[in-house]
Structure formats: C-alpha cells, structure tokens
Chains A and B, each alone.
Chain A
C-alpha cells in the first residue's frame, strides 16, 4: 500500500459512488420533460401526478449528485497535484467551462423545477424542467470531453516551466473534439437514459405487483418499457458498438486487455464469461468464435492485436478490466431481451395480469442498469492504466508527492464510511418515497398557476403567487 495505490482506490470509490446519481438526473430528467410535455399537450392529470412524484425523487438524487460531485472536483488537486499541475491549462478549462455553462444552469433552475409543482403552471414548469435537464446533459458533455481528452489526448504541447513539465493547449477545437469524445458522449447519454427509464420501469412494475396506484403505474410502465427497450437495443447495435470501434482504433492496448486477448489472433472470439490468469498470461473463457474480429474490424479473419505485442510496462490490470467489461456487455445483451419480452407480454395481455416473475425481472432492471453503467466506467478507467493521460502521463507520476500512506488511508476510510451511510440513507428514503407512492392527482389549482413569463413575474410582483396558498399544517408536512 502506497499513497498512489490508495489514492487510486479512493478515486475509484468516490467516482463510482458519484456516478450512481448523474445518470439518473439525465435519464429520469428526460422522462420528466416528457411527462411535463404530455401534461401541457393533453392536460391529463396523471401526467402532472407523475411529475410531482418523480420530481421529488429527482431532488433526492440531485442533492447526492452535487455533494459527491464536489468531492471529484476537489480530488484532482488533493490527491493528484502533479496531474493537476501538468494538465491544468487543458483539463482545467473544460471543468471551468462545465461550471459556467452547465452546472450553473442546473443549479440555478433546480429550485424552480423542484418547487414548480406549487408555483408554476404546466408550460412554465416544463420550461424549468427542460432547463435543468438540458444543464445536466450539457454538464456531462464537458466532463466526458475532459475524460475523453485523458483517453485520446490531442491539441496540446508540453513545455518545461519553473513548475516542471506542463501541458499547454494549442488548439481548443482539437481538445474538445478528441477521437473518442463523440462515441463516449452518446454511449454515456444513452446509458443514462436507460437507467432513468429502468428506474421508472422498476417502480411502476412494483406498484403493478402490489396492486397499488394502478392508473399511475400503468401509464408509467407503458412509457418506460418502450423507452427502455428501444434504447437497450440501440445501445447494443449502435452506441456501444461505436464505442468499441473507437477503442479498437484509438487504444488497441485497452481493447486487448478488456478482451483478455494475449496473442495476436485472427478470427478472435468474443468472450462472454471467463477468468484471466495474469501470471500465466492466459484467459480461460467461453465465447463466440470470430465475433470480436468481426465486430472490431468488420471481417471474420481480421487480426486483433494481443497484449503481448505491447511493452509489459504498459499493461493494464487485465483481469479487472476484463471482468468489468464483460459484466457490462453481458448485461447490455440482457437488457434488450428483458425489454422485448416484457413489452410483448404487456401488449399481448392488454396491460392486465402481467406474470409476477416478469414484474420482478422488470423491478431488477434499475439495479442491473446501474451495475452495467458503473462497470462501463471501470472498463474505461481501468483499461486506460497505467496511464492517467493516455501515453502522456503515467498514473504513478500524477499523485500528490506530499501525501503519506496514513493520510490517504484515513481519508479513504472516512469516505468509505460516509458514503456507506449516505447510500443507506438514500435507499431508505427512496424506499419510503416509493412505498408512500404518488399523491392523488389534483388539478383544481393548477389552472390558477402562472403559465407565461408575464404571469410568473406579475404574480410575483403582486406579492403572492396564486399557488402560494397558506396550506393547513398537516397538509404541508410531507
């Protein structure tokens, strides 16, 4: 154990935990925009009821996303000072742009979105929701841009300064649009939408199972199953495949590690499950013959480079990368299957009497989707090792030199305990919220709420938004 290893462990822990939440803010956010839009279009109270319910879940998720996201912004400087000094000119500006352009938008309008149910008419609430969700996607765009630069760096030069070797931007256009950026962005956005729809699917399946809130559950299930299935198929066929092609092209070493492919092979198999013995440099796995060659290079007998072709110093932890990657793709192949079966049964049985086992499978999707997404993140990050900036800066040369083992061990334990507590509280509150269920649809006062910019500002300057009725105390308490 040394400060570098512990810092990596700490970053892996905090980043993975953080990464539970932003995909929900994007995925559930998209569905919230859809619900608000449907309410504007149809005036059907079930859509407003759905928005009111999900926006509360959204608030909980968002709070945890902010709190754990700050840790990530601080972590670069705290544990990786040499990295920060080296990349600040390039990487720092992407983070700063994220803050100014995107995070400010999310944070600024979040209040209006969360409290909009009592204050804003359907159109204005749709607008507030849209701005927050747009901000969340825009935020992810900058973060993934920064991450993609670490994976496929370009548009910079390095110079010795009085502070040591530093990277300097030479072309902003190349920095923002590195070769792996677009596939990574789309792959992550789609993964986030899958998580969002899986959350709605899970909760509504649970209501169907328990025979509660039928109207709400059916409407939500119906929307979620379609979104989930279509996205899950597209993820396998288009966006995941594009990501794999990008890795093949830009980081062949990483492809070899995540596939556990030791020697150059023509007609390389695509493994489904297996174990890598790193000391013996062998992979024991079952897979589909020649499929990897086909998927990566479009031909059955294309040669896929093996790990042994590359210098041993540059090898990633192969088994870990292999396991993370295969967990992701196995789940990725499972989701379209679940989606198609559930959608078909839902349609055949005309939304009645779904078999219990199938509902349980639907309930499990949100957990599986989170696991798949975090495994995907691990694939990207573990597969990049031993580089922190691909072929430019090694991870062991990036750590803060002033840290001691004891310091990082203590902070790691602190984060582990704190995050365990947060996770327990989060799940507990989410569970309560779900068991409590949506409030009965209430349309009476919605039509009185301000629904144009003029009405919003006028109601404010009259000192009393019409929705701000003083409510009875017991009604107020949640």
Chain B
C-alpha cells in the first residue's frame, strides 16, 4: 500500500464521517416541516442538531482541504468543472446556515415559517446534490488531457442514472435523519417519526437496490474490483450486515443501536462504492487514458508524509473531543434560553 493509497483511504473515511454526521443534519432538515406540528416541536427538531451541526460541517471543510492537498489535480478539475453545481451547493449551504441561525431571532410566525422552508429546502437540495456528485464520479466526466473538465451546461451533469443516485441519497438521509430524531425526541413527536421509519427504510431499500443493479449493469467498471480483489467484498458484506442489524434494532425499538447501524450502512456503502472506483478518482468519459487515478493524481510523497503527520497528531484529538461533545449533548432535546 503506497502513501497515496493510504490517503485515498483516509479521504474516503473523512467523507464518510461527513456523510454520517452531516447526513443526519440534512435528514432532520428535510423532515423538519413534516415531523413538527407547531413551533415548540419545530424548535425541538431544530435543536436536536443545534449544538453539533457546526462540528459536523467541519468534516466537509477538512475533506475539501485534504482533496486539495493530497489530490490537487482532482480538486482543480472537479471544482472548476462542476462550477454551477458547486455554486448551488454553496448557496444551499449558506442559506441553510443562516436559516438555522436566524429562525429563532424573531417571534413573528411568518419570519419563522420563511426560515423553516429555507432550512428544509436547502437540506433537501444538498442531499440531492451530494448524490448527484457521487453519480458523476461513478459515471466519469469529460476530462481532457490537461486535467480540465469540459462541460457545456449544468444539464450534462444530470443524466438519469446520476439523478437516480440523488434520489437514493435523499431516501437514505431521510431514513438516517428519522432514526436520529427518534433518538433525540419523545412523546407525540417521537411516535410520529417512529411510524415513518419503516417507510423510509422501504424507500431506501427499493432505491438502493435499483441503484446497485444499475451500477452493476452499467459499464462503469465499478464491479471489477470485487472480482479482481476478492477480499474487497468485505465492504458490501459489511453494508449488508449493518442493514440487517438496523432492521432488527428498529423492530426491537433499540433506538440508539438502530441509528448507529444506519450510520454504519452509510459509511460502508460509501466504502463499497469507493473500493469499486479504486484506483480511479475521477474517470474521463472522453478517453480512459486521461482519467485521474490514485497514483497519477496524488501529491508527492513529501507532501503526503507531512500531511500524514498532521493527520496522526490531529485526527485522534478531533475524534476524541467530537465524541465527548456529542456525548454531552446526547439524550432527549431540552429547550433552554440559549437554544435556537
């Protein structure tokens, strides 16, 4: 395993952490208008992620920085090539952040209703775009030999398969967010969300199964890894086990265990797709020779070593205090004067 391979694994792990953590934030955002019936409930839903969403979004920033440093040409190609897609992501991220912050600042019900819709629409948009981004990484993009993506319009990024992966991601995060809300709430609100959980699981199962078949049938080269390197089937196997465990835990009403299993489903699904893509980072649909791979697109060993030292010193601390803070804010939501 080369240094670049190690950084590929670390990058996937960081993105995995982002999807698991911000994933439930986005799911909660999408559920917000439906789950909560009146202002107090809405505040409970919002405050279920209130003290931790900043910390969760950090993983996106770290992921962006790591991609920039470890695979600079991929960062350059993707970010400039997906210009408008990323503009939309940024607009959604900005609006979502300010919606969370601004909502509670005035009593007016119109003011609150406005920011509630901004919050849920932007959460939905982000979930969809996250899936679309993955879809494009799976299908490959028109990458030229200089490492630039030649796209004429945003519509080039929205092929049916790619859009369907977006829908799958939305279903997945609805499920994940609902399981999180069940952990964080009580009473009527909890009962309502609990009733929806099986439906979200069914929706996720359906969309994920179709996506999986679509990926396997489509000529994306994703399945080759699993036949070439048989050990890699641990990833899809783990995903399947996590999925079964999640259903068992939901049935037994072991709420936290169910949420934990769903986190594992998200993480291992990402690992499966990433293993399938390896060694490609960004495939060229123009000419396979222009594809960016872990070996030809990585930074040199000096930079990767420096970064490894940074990661070895920094990441354990981050994990430790993230776990500590999440623990302190775990348990049912209680509204206090400083809540949102």
Is B60 an interface residue, CB under 8 A from the partner? yes
A134–B66 CA distance with the chains assembled, in angstroms? 22
Is A357 an interface residue, CB under 8 A from the partner? no
Is A19 an interface residue, CB under 8 A from the partner? no
Is B203 an interface residue, CB under 8 A from the partner? no
Is B314 an interface residue, CB under 8 A from the partner? yes
Q: Which residues of chain B have C-beta atoms less than 8 A from A114's C-beta?
A: 51, 338
How near does chain A come to B125, taking the closest CB pair, in angstroms? 14
Is A425 an interface residue, CB under 8 A from the partner? yes
From B72, B105, B151, B311, residue with most partner A Cβ within 10 Å: B72
Is B325 an interface residue, CB under 8 A from the partner? yes
Chain A: how many interface residues by the 8 Å CB criterion?
90
How near does chain B come to A347, taking the closest CB pair, in angstroms? 35
A-B contact list, 6 entries, CB within 8 Å? A64-B101, A71-B90, A92-B68, A172-B306, A402-B150, A414-B91
From A70, A79, A418, residue with most partner B Cβ within 10 Å: A70
Chain B contact residues, CB within 8 Å of chain A: 40, 50-52, 54-58, 60-62, 64-66, 68-73, 75-81, 83-84, 86-87, 89-91, 93-94, 97-98, 100-102, 104-107, 146-151, 296-297, 299-300, 302-303, 306-307, 310-311, 313-315, 318, 321-322, 325, 327-331, 334-339
Interface 1/0 per residue, A103-132 and B, CB below 8 Å: 111111111101111110000000000000
A305–B149 CA distance with the chains assembled, in angstroms? 44
Would A407 and B98 be within 8 Å (CB), given that A88-B76, A115-B336, A477-B107 are in contact? no
Query: Do the beta carbons of B335 and A476 come within 8 Å of each other?
Result: yes
From B40, B65, B330, residue with most partner A Cβ within 10 Å: B65
Is A218 an interface residue, CB under 8 A from the partner? no
How near does chain A come to B331, taking the closest CB pair, in angstroms? 6
From B60, B71, B101, residue with most partner A Cβ within 10 Å: B101
Choice from A52, A63, A109 contacting B321 with Cβ under 8 Å: A109
Question: Sorted from nearest, which 9 A-B pairs have the closest CB atoms?
Answer: A88-B72, A77-B79, A111-B51, A92-B69, A92-B68, A96-B65, A81-B80, A118-B336, A400-B80
Query: Do the beta carbons of A118 and B337 come within 8 Å of each other?
Result: yes
| Majority secondary structure of chain B interface residues (helix, strand, loop or mixed) | helix
Choice from B66, B87, B303, B322 contacting A414 with Cβ under 8 Å: B87
Q: Which residue of B lies closest to A117 (CB)?
A: B338
A472–B151 CA distance with the chains assembled, in angstroms? 56
Chain A contact residues, CB within 8 Å of chain B: 52, 55-56, 59-60, 62-64, 66-71, 73-74, 76-79, 81-82, 84-85, 87-93, 95-101, 103-112, 114-119, 162-164, 166, 168-170, 172, 400-403, 407, 411, 414, 418, 422, 425, 429, 432-433, 439, 456-457, 460, 463, 467-471, 473, 475-478
Q: Which residues of chain B have C-beta atoms less than 8 A from A85's C-beta?
A: 72-73, 76, 147
Query: Do the beta carbons of B72 and A67 come within 8 Å of each other?
Result: no
How near does chain B come to A212, taking the closest CB pair, in angstroms? 20
Query: Do the beta carbons of B58 and A92 come within 8 Å of each other?
Result: no
A162–B72 CA distance with the chains assembled, in angstroms? 13
Query: Do the beta carbons of B91 and A99 come within 8 Å of each other?
Result: no
Query: Do the beta carbons of A71 and B94 come within 8 Å of each other?
Result: yes
Q: Which residues of chain A have C-beta atoms less than 8 A from B337's C-beta?
A: 117-118, 439, 471, 475-476, 478
Would A96 and B90 be within 8 Å (CB), given that A79-B80, A402-B151, A478-B105 are in contact? no
Choice from A68, A103, A163, A468 contacting B334 with Cβ under 8 Å: A468
Choice from A98, A163, A457, A475 contacting B73 with Cβ under 8 Å: A163
From A78, A99, A414, residue with most partner B Cβ within 10 Å: A99
How near does chain A come to B166, taking the closest CB pair, in angstroms? 20
Q: Which residues of chain B have C-beta atoms less than 8 A from A106's C-beta?
A: 54, 58
Query: Do the beta carbons of B91 and A73 come within 8 Å of each other?
Result: no
How near does chain B come to A98, taking the closest CB pair, in angstroms? 7
Query: Do the beta carbons of B318 and A100 come within 8 Å of each other?
Result: yes
Query: Do the beta carbons of B310 and A93 come within 8 Å of each other?
Result: yes
How near does chain A come to B143, taking the closest CB pair, in angstroms? 11
Choice from B71, B83, B150 contacting A407 with Cβ under 8 Å: B83
Q: Which residues of chain A have C-beta atoms less than 8 A from B100's C-beta?
A: 63
Choice from B105, B148, B302, B331 contacting A463 with Cβ under 8 Å: B331
Choice from B61, B321, B322, B334 contacting A470 with Cβ under 8 Å: B334
Q: Which residue of B lies closest to A71 (CB)?
A: B90
Query: Do the beta carbons of B54 and A110 come within 8 Å of each other?
Result: yes
A108–B325 CA distance with the chains assembled, in angstroms? 7
Query: Do the beta carbons of B101 and A59 come within 8 Å of each other?
Result: yes
Would A88 and B335 be within 8 Å (CB), given that A168-B300, A414-B87, A418-B91 are in contact? no
